[in-house]
A and B are shown apart, each in its own frame.
Chain A
């Protein structure tokens, strides 16, 4: 593993709503190396998408305000970016793959127009060059050129997500954030798409933050993994560390319930109880109400972070070793 591309250092952020302040992200701490795939897993609402929005500086548009910590991209604080640098950061350094490709593209423009627009935003190519480049990328992804004249509604979700894949290649970002990129796709083509992402990563030495509900997919894609719960990272480490010796009760429950080979649907139902209310900063461990191993201390004080090996850490008073 080489240089750190992205560092999220003790980052916290809140959102003010009519119903009070929501503590959406709390003390998030992880980094992504160059040329690696970093996985984030956790149940719905735990803050995976909000973390990526904060990284991409889109959080502020959603009303998410930083309350602590910092996010560094190649050592630069992303919040220090002015308008021009931000455009470059979004247009060149990073690219997100959203969950639903049907919603991600503008219904009123052809695929070609939107691809051209992407190249233009990235810069460095005349219109003719851009067309040529697009043609090559499509060939590479075996997408027929006829699709260029289509509007998004005329294509399937799988095809649209591959078009987004083409945008990734055109973009050549240093960091891809794939936020549940296959959830909206047909099961039959999910695997194919994941392979495509892997291929892109290998070929262009891109880093990926891969967000998913699906343990199987995460284990297939990622080198290192963070497990999120209630707006916090509760455990992180390499894939091997997490799969062979998970220490946090939540991770263990997640891995046990998430049958490693089954169809990934609603499997969090098997962990009893509800995710924590983000309206209040919990005094103790956020998982305490649902944890089988909870003791009095767990309800009273926030656990301290403990190390369990090189880069393997968990937020728990009573880790399962």
Chain B
């Protein structure tokens, strides 16, 4: 319980620091006013807009306004679509989350049996096959694999939609591809951790106490290796959300990746600022939740804190 409170407090502090950094970074990236005024505008016009945006006030005051707005849920309006930024983001985010969650589930479902099998059959042809396929999954750039999948299954065979999220089948292409890409490193991670666990003294002792092999493997070896898979999933999840640009643009998937891509291209600063902040908060919350789950799974973490 104390551990949870402590983790939550840490999360709040981190979010605060991140908000300051984003605030400063946006301001340091140049004067947004230049992007708003027409070419050849007068100095007065420029000053007027600066004043309207509150950019003439001291930084502390500006931050105060910024954070109060954010806390009341007001991220401003998009320059391009004129709609409230938040509204647009929450429209797009579920697509990205859906894709990430499905991809990770696919990866985990593939990883647990395959990684365990490789560890149990260490140094046999099965293990080598798994290592080979895993490195292949890691190595193939998702961009090319994506184009390939679209060509084969979308254009030629016509069993999957070529792009977009309009059809319920649309998620298959990107999620399977992403899932495979993730499962490559995830499988290797599980395999290596599992090998370590299988060589441990507690597994030896469990076997020598006559505990059935499937229990030794599932209860002792797998459970001790599973935390690593969980942490890795969280890490991947965060990266997927942040790095959703490529897969979403290839498959024309209308998520947050597409949104940030478009808003950076269109210099839609309120949008960029909001996307970055929301993603940052999202990841901090995620990592906090994962820490708490890990502590729940492993009594030693609870003790250490």
Question: Hey, which bits of chain A sit against chain B, CB under 8 A?
Answer: 56, 58, 61, 87-92, 94-96, 98, 100, 103-109, 117-118, 121-122, 151, 153-154, 167, 171
Contact = CB atoms under 8 A, between A and B. Distances in A.
Given A108-B224, A108-B297, A153-B299, A103 B209 contact: no
5 contacts: A89-B210, A96-B205, A106-B202, A108-B220, A108-B298
A118 B303 CA distance: 26
Contacts of B128: none
Nearest to B298: A108
Contacts of B215: 117
Taking chain B's interface residues, is the majority helix, strand, or loop, or is none over half, making it mixed? helix
Nearest to A122: B210
B210 A107 contact: no
Contacts of A109: 219
Contact of A171 (B206, B209, B224, B299): B209
Interface in B213-255: 215, 219-220, 223-224
B212 interface: yes
B303 A98 contact: no
A100 B211 CA distance: 20
Contacts of A88: 210
Nearest to A90: B210
Contacts of B200: 103
Given A103-B202, A108-B223, A58 B208 contact: yes
B83 interface: no
Nearest to A150: B299
- Point out which of A100, A108, A154, A167 has the most chain B C-beta atoms below 10 A from its C-beta: A108
B5 to A, nearest CB: 22
Nearest to B203: A106
A107 B224 contact: yes
B214 to A, nearest CB: 12
Contacts of A58: 204, 207-208
Contact of A95 (B206, B209, B298, B299): B209
A106 B224 contact: yes
B300 interface: yes
Taking chain A's interface residues, is the majority helix, strand, or loop, or is none over half, making it mixed? helix
- Point out which of B212, B299, B300, B303 has the most chain A C-beta atoms below 10 A from its C-beta: B299
Interface string B294-305: 000111100100
B210 A108 contact: no
B211 to A, nearest CB: 5
B197 to A, nearest CB: 9
Contact of B210 (A61, A92, A98): A92
Contact of A117 (B209, B224, B300, B303): B209
Contacts of B211: 91, 117-118, 121
A121 B215 CA distance: 10
B201 A107 contact: no
B224 A90 contact: no
Interface residues of B, number: 22
B201 A121 contact: no
A91 B207 CA distance: 8
A185 B305 CA distance: 26
Given A103-B202, A106-B220, A106-B224, A91 B303 contact: no
Given A103-B201, A105-B202, A90 B209 contact: yes
A259 to B, nearest CB: 31
B297 A98 contact: no
A108 B205 contact: no
A89 B209 CA distance: 9
A121 B210 contact: yes
A105 B204 CA distance: 10
Nearest to A83: B213
Given A98-B201, A107-B299, 17 more contacts: A90-B207, A90-B208, A91-B210, A94-B208, A96-B205, A103-B200, A104-B201, A104-B205, A106-B219, A106-B224, A108-B297, A108-B299, A109-B219, A117-B209, A122-B210, A153-B300, A154-B299
Interface in B108-162: none
A117 B218 CA distance: 14
B204 A167 contact: no
Contacts of B220: 106, 108
Interface in B173-208: 200-202, 204-208
A151 B208 contact: no
B228 to A, nearest CB: 13
A123 to B, nearest CB: 9
Question: Across chains A and B, which 3 residue pairs bring their CB atoms closest together, nearest first?
Answer: A91-B210, A103-B201, A151-B299
Contact of A106 (B206, B210, B212, B303): B206
A56 B209 CA distance: 10
Contacts of A92: 210
Nearest to B300: A153
Contacts of A151: 299-300, 303
- Point out which of B204, B206, B210, B212 has the most chain A C-beta atoms below 10 A from its C-beta: B210
Contacts of A61: 207
A105 B212 CA distance: 16
- Point out which of A92, A100, A103, A167 has the most chain B C-beta atoms below 10 A from its C-beta: A103
Contacts of A104: 201-202, 204-205
A91 B299 contact: no
A175 B89 CA distance: 68
B202 A87 contact: no
Contacts of A89: 210
Contact of B209 (A100, A153, A167): A167
A107 B298 contact: yes
A118 B209 contact: yes
